[in-house]
Amino acid sequence: MDLLRRLGQFLDRPGFPWKTLIIGFGITQYVFEGFLSLRQYKILQQTKPPKALEGEIKQETFDKSQAYGRAKSQFGFVASLYSQVQNFGTIYYDILPKLWDLTGIWLHRYSPISFTGEIVHTLIFFFTYNLITTIINLPISYYSTFVLEEKYGFNKSTVRLWVTDLLKGQALGIALGVPLLSAFLAIVQRTGDIFFYYLFLFGIVVQLFAITIYPIAILPLFNKLSPLEEGPLKTGVEALAKRLNFPLKELCVIDGSKRSAHSNAYFYGLPWKKHIVIYDTLIEKSETEEVVAVLSHELGHWSLSHTTKLFGIAQFHMFYIFALFSVFIKNRSLYQSFGFHKEFPIIIGFILFSEALAPMDTVVKLLMNILSRKFEFEADEFAVKLGYSTELARSLIKLQIQNLSTMDADWMYASYHFSHPILPERLGALGWSGKEKKADLKAMDDEKSRVVTGREL
């Protein structure tokens, strides 16, 4: 506590150029990430697949994958610039203090006296700011869904469904945000300098609550979950779960095809009660043994305690975030640098603190991606030991084709951005000898061609 207090006093220096520093952080990160994206874009201009994929991926499929990657990269440049301009404008033109004052006027003019105070004011400010940013970002979201994804055959959504999801998301944000944000502010107000201990405990409770309530009340708002039908796939997955002593409670299929042609599978739940969810697109486009192989990889994460380790790291990260926040919450020079001279709202302090912490978050992101890629290799090795080497390799190749995923990557870009190894690295680690030649994958490629063109061949 004494260390945090002294650090807080050291950083609270009148006239310190916090705004200039944070704008500088933002621009530096933008330039750095742009540099990495340019390096990756050169890889996406290559005309031949990596040697590890020669004979596995048709040239036509590789060309489509590269074109899709370039389109996403070009869109990423625009979206990143759009976001950077927003952030710069918000900081440079003191949008936060102006919006705080405006919402304060609304509160005093239209709300009963019993509904005044920092918590109510913060709620109005937060949801107004969130609504504004949502509206500003609508063009980016629309283009991503209905132009980019549509062009390459992945979008299955409609404008009506997109708008409905947007409205549901906003309503859900208010329904959950009001009590959670109110509790966050109340804890800080009432527990003094040691508030971060209580925020940490509150965060753990919220996570456990989210794990419990998500499949029951939130996921059904956006997708339909159905029990997996009886058959070889269900038998195979249940046998795998029993073999690993995995506490399988429910095995479901999700209608991912409702919005996208991309495929996936995952599990969630409390330690003693797990649910496995398989995308209908994965079942449709894969053999039974290949789906089981994918799940053997996913359950490998559980068996090797990867999920537990990541959860533990997340808790440590949350604790140090709240502890560092206690250093900045009373930093008057930080508030004043951003135009807050009379009021020092908790939520504003947290927003500004988050901006100041951006460089450290960049380092954390890099380290977490390195650890995540290590875990992915270990989960692949786990599947190999279960006897699914060939099936997993075939499945990875199919998923690569179906999702038009990046076939190769610049090492700097991958280190910073990718949480999973690229396909050639994974096939090499699996000891894949290339038994499946182009002719054997023709059906998969033709299926992808059908999806992309919208035609039956």
Which of 149, 380, 391, 445 does the annotation list as catalytic? 380
How far is 427 from 424, CA to CA, in rounded Å? 5
HSE, CB side, 13 Å, CA atoms: give it for residue 147: 10
How far is 412 from 409, CA to CA, in rounded Å? 8
Please list the residues that pair with 252 across neighbouring strands.
227, 277
HSE, CB side, 13 Å, CA atoms: give it for residue 54: 5
Please list the residues that pair with 226 across neighbouring strands.
253
Q: Please name the helix (run of DSSP H) or strand (run of DSSP E) that holds residue 268, with its range, or none.
A: strand 265-270
Answer whether 96's CB lies under 8 Å from 90's CB: yes
118 is catalytic: no
> Tokens representing 394?
């075939």
Say which residues have a Cβ less than 8 Å from residue 106's Cβ, sequence separation at least 6: 124
Which of 56, 298, 376, 410 does the annotation list as catalytic? 298
Instruction: Please write down the HEC assignment for all residues of 364-413.
Output: HHHHHHHHHHHHHHHHHHHHHHCCCHHHHHHHHHHHHHHHCCCCCCCHHH
193 is catalytic: no
Say which residue the tokens 């073999």 belong to: 243
Give me the active site residues, please: 298, 380
